[in-house]
Amino acid sequence: MSMKTSTRQVDGVTIVDCSGRITLGEGSVILRDQVRELLSKGQKKILLNLAEVTYIDSSGIGELVSAFTTVRNQGGELKLLNLTKKVHDLLQITKLYTVFDVKEEETAAVKAFK
């Protein structure tokens, strides 16, 4: 299953619902393009909902880091929501879990944006 994204707005926060695989190639490119498009529209409060992400490789992890850095460098915020156990474990062993602002509940996550 390839990567798919859809976006919705909640209280000024853009929630990106991601599904499928964030891997080298198409999956990483789709995520990158999505984040760039939001930033180009001035949407700088981004919540990546990864509940339906079934797989992520090192390129996908790199893409999450890139998205986080890119948004932050433009004065925005990017948070992660609903990690699957696989993604959670990957972020733990790569020591990125504490770098990202990871949330488990959407309403609280939206409120956490400044």
Q: Which is nearer to other proteins, 41 or 85 (CB)?
A: 85
Report the nearest approach of other proteins to the CB of residue 24 (Å).
6
Q: What is the residue whose two structure tokens read 């948070």?
A: 79
Report the nearest approach of other proteins to the CB of residue 2 (Å).
11
- Residue 73's Cβ-count burial label (10 Å; 0-12, 13-18, 19+) is exposed
- Which parts of this chain interact with other proteins (CB under 8 A)? 23-25, 57-59, 61-63, 65-66, 69, 86, 90, 93-96, 99
Q: What is the residue whose two structure tokens read 């991601």?
A: 18
Q: Which is nearer to other proteins, 17 or 63 (CB)?
A: 63
Q: Which is nearer to other proteins, 60 or 103 (CB)?
A: 60
Report the nearest approach of other proteins to the CB of residue 96 (Å).
7
**Per residue in 75-101, is it b (16+ CB within 10 Å) or e — as a string?**
ebbbbbbbbeeebeebbeeeebbeebe
